[in-house]
Amino acid sequence: MGSNNEDRVESLDQLEVPKSIYRLIDEIPKKPITMEAEKQVDDDWNKFQRNTRNQQRGVIRKRVTILSISAAAAVGLFISTAFVSPAVAQVASRIPYLNLIFEDKIQVQTLENEINQAILEHDFKNIALHVNRKEKYIEAMVFNTEEYFKETKTPIKDMISGILEARNEEEYEIRVANNPEAAEQWSKMDEESIEIDKKIEKIEKTVYEVLGKYNYDSPRHTSGISLKRVNLELPITDTNIKNIKLEIKEKLKQRELGDIEVKVYTYDPGLEERGGKFMEIFDSIALGLKANPEFQIDSVGFTNNKKDHFYISVQLLLESTDPDVDKVVKDIEKTVEDFLQSEEALKSIQNEKYQVAILSSDKKKMKVISN
Among 179-193, 251-265, 331-345, the range scoring the smallest mean pLDDT is 179-193
Does 306 lie in the same domain as 284? yes
* Residues 216 and 120 both lie in one domain: no
**pLDDT above 80 for 81:** no
Are 315 and 258 within one domain? no
Is residue 6 over pLDDT 80? no
Instruction: Assess if residue 240 is contained within a domain.
Output: yes
Asked if residue 5 is part of any domain, the answer here is no
Please determine, for residue 327, whether its predicted confidence score (pLDDT) is greater than 90.
yes
The verdict on 59 and 138 lying in the same domain is yes
The verdict on residue 215 lying in a domain is yes
Asked if residues 127 and 141 have their Cβ atoms less than 8 Å apart, the reply is yes
User: Looking at the domain assignment, is residue 31 inside a domain?
Assistant: yes
The domain in which residue 178 lies consists of 12-184
Number of domains in the chain: 3
With bands split at pLDDT 50, 70 and 90, how would you rate the model's confidence at 123? very high
Instruction: List the CATH number of the domain containing 213.
Output: 3.30.70
Q: What is the pLDDT of residue 104?
A: 87
Say if 4 falls within a structural domain.
Answer: no
Question: Which of 184, 205, 230 represents a domain boundary (last residue)?
Answer: 184
What is the pLDDT at residue 344? 93
Count of alpha carbons within 13 angstroms of residue 20, beta-carbon side: 1
Please indicate whether residue 4 or residue 237 has the higher confidence score (pLDDT): 237
Q: Model confidence at 291, in pLDDT bands (50, 70, 90)?
A: confident
Query: What's the mean pLDDT in 292-316?
Result: 91
Is the domain of 73 the same as that of 146? yes
Order of strands across the sheet with 222-225?
Answer: 222-225, 229-235, 261-267
pLDDT over 60 (residue 212) = yes
Residue 21 and residue 170 share a domain: yes
> Which is more confident, 74 or 362?
362
Q: If you average pLDDT over residues 300-313, what whole number do you get?
A: 91
* pLDDT of the residue at 271: 87
Tens digit of pLDDT for each residue in 48-67?
Answer: 555 554 444 443 343 333 33
For residue 10, pLDDT over 80 is answered with no
Average pLDDT, stretch 30-52? 50
Residue 2 lies in a domain: no
For range 134-139, the mean pLDDT: 91
Residue 189 lies in a domain: no
